[in-house]
Amino acid sequence: MDSHANMAVAGFDCTVIATSGRYATVTPFSSNLPTMDMVEIGDVAIAYDDPISLQTYLLVMRNALLIPSMDHNLIPPFLLRMAGLHVDETPKHQLALPTVDNHSIYDSETGMRIHLKLNGIFSYFPTRALTLDEIDNWDRFPIVFITPDGDAWDPNTLHYADNEEAMLDTNGLIVEHGIRPPNILFSEAELSKLYGKEVAWSRFNDVVDAVHVSDERSQGCPLTADEVVKLNAPMICVQLASLGVNYEPLCFATRVTACNIFEKQLSEVLVNAFATIHAVSAGRSKGVSAEHLAKVWCIPHDDAAQTLGVTTQSLRHDPDSSLSRNVGTNNRAVRYRKIKSFFFMDTLFVTAAAKSLCGNICAQLFVSDKGFVAFYPMRKQQEVYLALKKFAKEVGAPDVLVCDPHPAQIKREVREFCTQIGTTLKVLEAETQWANRAELYIGLMKEATRKDMRFSGSPLVLWDYCMERRALIFQITAKKLFQLNGTNPHTSTFGTEADISHICQYG
């Protein structure tokens, strides 16, 4: 199995698990060579016999091009890494101090290590189709996904290139991924310093909205230094201090403009032409045909064709496959509601003295480009994955999820879950937290919660309940945001009117 393609390619010596009913046009590295039309996309399984441990591993490739005329399989190392495997492509004999990790593929969950071999100058490892015993007793063998476990994968998406470019600074040096200190919620020194200062919230929202809605980059920063000084928002000082940045109004204004530019780049669809070298590449896949849908649904052909034009097909199962009973029942691609929005997430911290009655010391905040806020308390930062699952169940699966490069937010299980629900995970460049919209709302949530708790005399150990209430208020409050079209974030996100009966009577 060597690697040349931008998609996995399955030859004849493999076991087809399921076919998708979708097809792709396969093009070679030169436009002068013939193309292959209607190449089916499907899921396959292959067996790898480890000659050292004598253990057989069942390797699963999803969304692979099925080309039975090939006598070998192809898989890009990029896909192996996307599946969470550790890949080293450097041959051991080309290293001064080789180790067992070099020129190998390693899976930390099952302990599988594949030592790659060389066929000329191409790396490969031997595989085979599954036997009848392995098909009937597949649960007795370790199963490793060597491609992302999702129902669809787009090799032509631009966010991979964006993440790669964000790794270098303007001098061509690697950006250091330092971990910033946690945000403090109820510091005594901070309370004594900021007590009595009121934020002009209406003016603050107007200015921030103007920054985010502005369409003219050439006009420079729409927020002047005098306006920033007049705002005197405590959250601005707190956020900049936590980052070790001296408070300078002009510096902050520049950062707000950069945040605006970043959000505009997320919403734009860029079409760039690049000269690439491929042995095999695939175009857009097609779903089930109108003829097939009309047959299985017993509906007129015209109705079936019109239905395909207004629906999507995210999940696939092949009822004709002999292995269909062995296919996992993971239906995350259609289980969660699809949200046509960009969401940002970040972790909010409190002091050790503010540990809640439920044992929470931090929380995960999800904020959309429409101002929708979702709040999930956590007992430790490693529970980001659980908060993300709860967010997907209660709110939905957004098109894009933006986060900071913190290890807890980009770990393997988070990436795999985003792949399965059809969400693109975009990781910001290190030390650019100001480009994360969730950072802004962390400050707003903190200040609003402080006011609520001071006014009501609520004990500090109930901070998580107070923040949950404040998040609900943020969701259903109508704001002067251009993208809301006069509604509130809840209605703009879900398309239904929000009900305020449960929180409108009492404080």
Query: What pLDDT digit, counting tens, does each position of 196-213 carry?
Result: 433 333 443 444 444 434
CB of 151 closer than 8 Å to CB of 316: yes
Mean pLDDT over the full length of the chain: 75
pLDDT digits (tens, 9 = 90+) for 357-405: 989 999 999 999 888 999 999 998 899 999 999 999 999 999 899 998 8
Band of pLDDT at residue 231, cut at 50, 70 and 90:
very low
Q: How far lies 325's CA from each of 143, 146, 322, in Å?
A: 16, 21, 7
**What's the token pair of residue 369?**
């480009």
Whole-number pLDDT of residue 314: 61
Band of pLDDT at residue 185, cut at 50, 70 and 90:
low
Question: Is 457's pLDDT higher than 80?
Answer: yes
Of all residues in the chain, what percent are helix, strand and coil, respectively (each to 5)?
A: 35, 20, 45
Those residues with Cβ within 8 angstroms of residue 133's Cβ, 6 or more apart along the chain or in another chain:
none
Whole-number pLDDT of residue 412: 87
Pairing of strands 397-403, 424-427: parallel
CATH superfamily, domain at 177-267+332-493:
Ribonuclease H-like superfamily/Ribonuclease H (3.30.420.10)
Percentage of the chain modeled with pLDDT above 70: 71
Highest mean pLDDT among 180-194, 311-325, 375-389, 424-438: 375-389
Average pLDDT over residues 93-109: 90
- Indicate the range of 51-60, 220-229, 277-286 predicted with least confidence: 220-229
Q: Phi and psi dihedrals of 266, rounded to 5?
A: -65, -35
Highest mean pLDDT among 140-144, 206-210, 267-271, 298-302: 140-144
Question: Is 17's pLDDT higher than 70?
Answer: yes
Structure-model confidence comparison of residues 266 and 413, the more confident one = 413
pLDDT digits (tens, 9 = 90+) for 399-447: 899 998 888 888 888 988 888 888 888 888 777 777 888 888 998 998 9
pLDDT digits (tens, 9 = 90+) for 247-261: 344 333 434 444 444
Whole-number pLDDT of residue 240: 42
- Indicate the range of 141-145, 261-265, 488-492 predicted with least confidence: 261-265
Structure-model confidence comparison of residues 505 and 350, the more confident one = 350
CA neighbor of 317 nearest in space, from 58, 43, 64: 43
Band of pLDDT at residue 177, cut at 50, 70 and 90:
low
Structure-model confidence comparison of residues 390 and 302, the more confident one = 390
**What's the token pair of residue 67?**
């080309």
Band of pLDDT at residue 176, cut at 50, 70 and 90:
low
Pairing of strands 281-282, 373-378: unpaired
- Grouping H, G, I as helix, E, B as strand and the rest as coil, residue 416 is helix
Residues in the chain: 507
Separation CA 23–CA 282 (nearest Å): 9
Structure-model confidence comparison of residues 218 and 9, the more confident one = 9
Average pLDDT over residues 482-496: 86
- Each domain of the chain, given as residue ranges in start order, spans 9-149, 177-267+332-493
Count CB-CB contacts under 10 A for residue 219: 9
Radius of gyration of the chain from Cα atoms?
26
Whole-number pLDDT of residue 142: 92
Question: Is 332's pLDDT higher than 80?
Answer: no
Q: Where are the beta strands (DSSP E) in 258-313?
A: 281-282
CB of 430 closer than 8 Å to CB of 163: no
Structure-model confidence comparison of residues 292 and 153, the more confident one = 292
DSSP state of 92: G
Whole-number pLDDT of residue 7: 82
- Grouping H, G, I as helix, E, B as strand and the rest as coil, residue 295 is helix
Q: How far lies 424's CA from each of 42, 121, 160, 287, in Å?
A: 21, 34, 10, 21
Whole-number pLDDT of residue 232: 40
Question: Is 192's pLDDT higher than 70?
Answer: no
Whole-number pLDDT of residue 353: 72
Band of pLDDT at residue 244, cut at 50, 70 and 90:
very low
CA neighbor of 415 nearest in space, from 81, 9, 161: 81
Structure-model confidence comparison of residues 58 and 241, the more confident one = 58
Band of pLDDT at residue 287, cut at 50, 70 and 90:
low
